[in-house]
Amino acid sequence: MKKKYKLLNILRYNISINPNEVINLYKNTNSIDFNNFLHTFNTLDDIYFNDTIALFSKLNSLYIIYGSNNNTNQITKKIFFNKKKESKTKRKKYKGF
């Protein structure tokens, strides 16, 4: 049986800073938060990368995260309808007439 996977998340890491901000980054490393460059997508949409300088162009990346689909309880349960059983108590007919 083939294993099935489902899309969990899409991560885009795109460093888009101006050349002027690179000088500030070199002088003060706390000035830019690199977590602002990571974006998540839950659905398949168009994903665009912003322009960046050549120094950081190799750092731009796209990560596609899949997870295994462990739903093994997808089997339809059969329901059987039995005929109505006769009651086991037998009645005696009255023969007095």
User: 58-81 pLDDT, tens per residue?
Assistant: 889 999 999 888 766 667 777 777
φ, ψ (nearest 5 deg) of residue 9: -160, 155
In-domain check, residue 29 = yes
Q: What is the pLDDT of residue 13?
A: 93
- Using a cut of 0.85, tell me whether the model's pTM lies above it: no
**Local confidence band at 11 (pLDDT 50, 70, 90 cut-offs):** very high
Domain extent for 34: 5-68
In-domain check, residue 45 = yes
What's the distance, CA 44 to chain centroid? Answer: 11
The count of structural domains within the chain is 1
In-domain check, residue 16 = yes
In-domain check, residue 42 = yes
Amino acid identity, residue 80?
F
In-domain check, residue 41 = yes
How confident is the model over 16-25, as pLDDT tens digits?
Answer: 888 887 777 7
CA dist 60 → 5, 8, 11, 16 (Å): 26, 20, 11, 9
